[in-house]
Structure 1
Amino acid sequence: MFQTIFDQIDTMVESVLASLPFLVIAAVILAITWIVAKFASRISARLIGKIDLRPSLRNLIETLVRLGVWITGMMLAALVVFPNFSPSGLLAGLGIGAVAIGFAFQDFFENFLAGVMIMLREKMQIGDVVKTGEIHGKVEFISLRESHIRAFSGELHVLPNSILFKDPLEVVTDLEERRFEVMIGVAYDTDLERASKVLHKAVEGVDLVSKEKDIQVLADNFGASSVDFRVRWWAASSGSEAVMNRDQVVRAIKRELDKADIEIPFPYITHTFKEAVPMKEKANAAF
Structure 2
Amino acid sequence: MDDTPLSLVTGVHEALINYWNIFVQSLPRIGFALTILIASYFIAAYISATIRKRFVNADHDPLFVRFLSKTTKGVLIIVGIILAMQAMGLSGIAQGLLAGAGLSAFIFGFAFKDIAENFLGGLILAFNRPFSLDDTIQIREFTGHVKALNFRTTHIKTFDEKDVFLPNSIVVKEPLINFTRDGQIRLDFVVGIAYEDDITEAISVICRTIEPIATVILEKKPFTVVEELATSTVNLRTYFWANTMDYKKGVLQMKSEVIMKVKEVLVEKGFSLPSDIQEIKWYDPTKPFPIDILNTKDDYPNLR
Relative to the length of structure 1, the TM-score reads 0.79
After superposition, residues 149-168 of structure 1 pair within 5 angstroms as: 149-168=156-175
Alignment partner of 1:125 out of 126, 132, 141: 132
Give the Cα separation in 1 of the matches to 2:254 and 2:167.
33
TM-fit CA distance, 1:28: 6.1
Identify if the C-alpha distance between structure 1 residues 251 and 274 changes in structure 2 by more than 3 Å, giving closer, same or farther: farther
Give the Cα separation in 1 of the matches to 2:139 and 2:170.
9
Q: CA RMSD in A?
A: 3.3
Give 2:160's aligned amino acid: S
**What's the counterpart of residue 174 of structure 1?**
181
Give the Cα separation in 2 of the matches to 1:126 and 1:196.
40
Structure 1 range deviating more: 202-211 or 170-179: 202-211
Higher helix fraction: Structure 1 or Structure 2? 1
Contact 1:131/1:170, CA 8 A, preserved across alignment: yes
**What's the counterpart of residue 256 of structure 2?**
247
TM-fit CA distance, 1:94: 3.8
Identify if the C-alpha distance between structure 1 residues 28 and 59 changes in structure 2 by more than 3 Å, giving closer, same or farther: same
After superposition, residues 53-64 of structure 1 pair within 5 angstroms as: 53-64=60-71
TM-fit CA distance, 1:73: 1.4
Identify if the C-alpha distance between structure 1 residues 47 and 232 changes in structure 2 by more than 3 Å, giving closer, same or farther: closer
Alignment partner of 2:84 out of 67, 77, 87: 77
1:216 aligns with 2:227: no
Percent identity reads 25
Give the Cα separation in 1 of the matches to 2:79 and 2:47.
13
User: What SS does the corresponding residue of 2:132 show, helix, strand or coil?
Assistant: coil
Give 2:261's aligned amino acid: A
* Structure label with greater radius of gyration: 2
TM-fit CA distance, 1:281: 5.3
Alignment partner of 1:261 out of 249, 270, 287: 270
After superposition, residues 21-170 of structure 1 pair within 5 angstroms as: 29-79=36-86, 80=88, 82-87=90-95, 89-170=96-177
Relative to the length of structure 2, the TM-score reads 0.75
Alignment partner of 1:194 out of 196, 201, 204: 201
TM-fit CA distance, 1:258: 1.1
Identify if the C-alpha distance between structure 1 residues 70 and 16 changes in structure 2 by more than 3 Å, giving closer, same or farther: farther
